[in-house]
Amino acid sequence: MATVLYEKDVDRSQIADRKVAILGYGSQGHAHALNLKDSGIDVRVGLREGSSSAAKAAEAGLRVMSMAEASGEADVIMLLLPDTEQGDIYKDHIEPHLQSGDALFFAHGFNVRFDLISAPEGVDVAMVAPKGPGHLVRRTYVEGGGVPCLIAVGQDASGSARDLALAYADAIGGARAGVIETTFAEECETDLFGEQVVLCGGLTSLVTAAFETLCEAGYQPEVAYFECLHELKLIVDLMYEEGIGGMRYSISDTAEYGDLSRGDRIINEDTRAEMKRILSEIQSGSFADEWMSESRSGRPNFLRLEAEGQQHPIEQVGAELRAMMPWISEGRQSVQAVSGGQGKE
Ligand code: NAD
Ligand code: MG
């Protein structure tokens, strides 16, 4: 079992006299910058020229400057930029300003795990990865709580990279909820696997395939939508709150027997073999290579697949049905409404 670290385990002096630069002011960037500032940390925000986030950050009372200037001034530099852009930005705006004793921080292991960024000797490399979206990182902090964080050390030049990462996690509220130590490889590989197999890829394919099966068999699309998509939330909330057993306790015996006797036919030996193949593509770096070259060539497949998804009948049926349930988009049905007002630029 992993050790979970809390506020009592933190040496706050590790970050108290550091100068922190937050590069990027999107989902994570705005939350880290504002939480650090409210924790009394010396923080500045580095943005690209002409960034529309500059005004928002300045209005929130933050010092805003170019990414190069921020990297020069600061001795802890946190990259909260899109993973596909970090490598180029690092070469152009950060590397020239890195000095021995500085620390380079990440919120996801992608660029370090796949060798897209390697810091010079003498520089600490660490990760503080909140396990939740940026808006929740900010909102829970303001409310006196926090979002659990993973921390990891990629290069320990100073001998105190781990303690600095823990102090940073604390300053954004993470140590109120719990901090777990991991490695860049574990965080990155499990994160990619989770989103591909369960949270995003597995889930959207399961829902649309089941919806199509019912529609092709002549059932009404509205009924198929409620059954295959809408009701998912209720089941997931039960699993989130009570575990799988708690969910099974709440559903009918008939539903439970269908679950117990049929689930393995959907996620069968072939599916498990495919999960292993997806995991090896992640581990070997071939997924990362594919995604980086897709992104560098203007994302043609990404954009085509995204557009195809938007054209799927389940989206039209869903939009019509959700329009009749305005309380859903107002967040009143959700157990914990996570969407905030912070837009991207
Ligand atoms: P985001 O897309 O919300 O924000 C990225 C920021 O970078 C924006 O301010 C954007 O304007 C800016 N930006 C984009 N392209 C740029 C460029 N070429 N030059 C300069 N600035 C540019 O990103 P995010 O979701 O906050 O992700 C940041 C990091 O945090 C990533 O490493 C991500 O994996 C990690 N992370 C995200 C979440 C999450 O829930 N969003 C959770 C944990 C970790
Ligand atoms: Mg993730």
Ligand 1 atom, smallest distance to 67 CA: 20
Q: What's the pLDDT at 344?
A: 36
- Report the candidate in 299, 297, 287 with the shortest Cα–Cα distance to residue 110: 287
Helix 286-296 with 269-284: angle, nearest 10 deg: 70
Q: Is the pLDDT of residue 2 over 80?
A: yes
Q: What's the pLDDT at 338?
A: 42
Q: Which residues line ligand 1 (CB under 6 A)?
A: 24-29, 48, 53, 80-83, 85, 89, 107-108, 129-130, 133-134, 344-345
Task: List for the chain the helix, strand, coil content (%; round to 5).
Answer: 60, 10, 30
Alpha-carbon Rg for the chain, nearest whole angstrom, is 22
CB-based contact 123:98 (threshold 8 Å): yes
Rounded to whole angstroms, the Cα distance separating 136 from 39 reads: 17
pLDDT tens figures, 58-101: 999 999 999 999 999 999 999 999 999 999 999 999 999 999 99
Q: What's the pLDDT at 333?
A: 57
135 given a catalytic annotation: no
pLDDT tens figures, 182-240: 999 999 999 999 999 999 999 999 999 999 999 999 999 999 999 999 999 999 999 99
What is residue 267's three-state secondary structure?
Answer: coil
Mean pLDDT of 304-328: 94
| Start-to-end CA span in the chain (Å) | 41
Question: What is Dmax (Cα atoms) for the chain?
Answer: 67
Q: In angstroms, what is the span from residue 80 Cα to ligand 1's centroid? A: 5
pLDDT tens figures, 19-42: 999 999 999 999 999 999 999 999
Q: Is 53 exposed, middle or buried (0-12, 13-18, 19+ CB in 10 A)?
A: buried
> In which band, very low, low, confident or very high, does the pLDDT at 320 lie, cut at 50, 70 and 90?
very high
Mean pLDDT of 136-160: 98
Q: In angstroms, what is the span from residue 123 Cα to ligand 1's centroid? A: 23
Helix 201-216 with 313-323: angle, nearest 10 deg: 90
Q: 25, 27, 116: which to mutate for ligand 1, most atoms within 8 A of CB?
A: 27
Q: Which ligand is nearest to the CA of 192?
A: 2
Q: Which ligand is nearest to the CA of 83?
A: 1
Q: Whose CA is nearest to atom 1 of ligand 1?
A: 26
Q: Is 230 exposed, middle or buried (0-12, 13-18, 19+ CB in 10 A)?
A: middle
Tokens of 7: 């506020």
Ligand 2 ion local residues (Cβ < 5 A)? 191
pLDDT tens figures, 45-58: 999 999 999 999 99
**Taking the C-alpha atoms of 46, 157, 91 and 49 in order, what is their torsion angle to the nearest 10 degrees?**
0
Residues whose CB falls within 8 Å of the CB of residue 57, separated by 6 or more in sequence, listed in order? 25, 30, 33, 45, 47, 64
Q: What's the pLDDT at 223?
A: 97
From 108, 135, 230, 312, the catalytic residue:
108
Ligand 1 atom, smallest distance to 28 CA: 26
Q: Whose CA is nearest to atom 17 of ligand 1?
A: 85
Ligand 1 atom, smallest distance to 111 CA: 32
Q: Whose CA is nearest to atom 28 of ligand 1?
A: 80
Mean pLDDT of 243-265: 98
> In which band, very low, low, confident or very high, does the pLDDT at 332 lie, cut at 50, 70 and 90?
low
Q: In angstroms, what is the span from residue 282 Cα to ligand 2's centroid? A: 14
pLDDT tens figures, 112-121: 999 999 999 9
Rounded to whole angstroms, the Cα distance separating 223 from 225 reads: 5
Q: What's the pLDDT at 327?
A: 85
Q: In angstroms, what is the span from residue 257 Cα to ligand 2's centroid? A: 32
Q: In angstroms, what is the span from residue 13 Cα to ligand 1's centroid? A: 28
Q: In angstroms, what is the span from residue 87 Cα to ligand 1's centroid? A: 13
Q: Whose CA is nearest to atom 38 of ligand 1?
A: 133
Tokens of 234: 């209720």
CA angle 20, 25, 27 (to 5 degrees): 115
Q: Which ligand is nearest to the CA of 200?
A: 2
pTM of the model: 0.91
Q: What's the pLDDT at 59?
A: 97
Q: 22, 23, 28: which to mutate for ligand 1, most atoms within 8 A of CB?
A: 28
Mean pLDDT of 254-274: 98
Q: Which ligand is nearest to the CA of 110?
A: 1
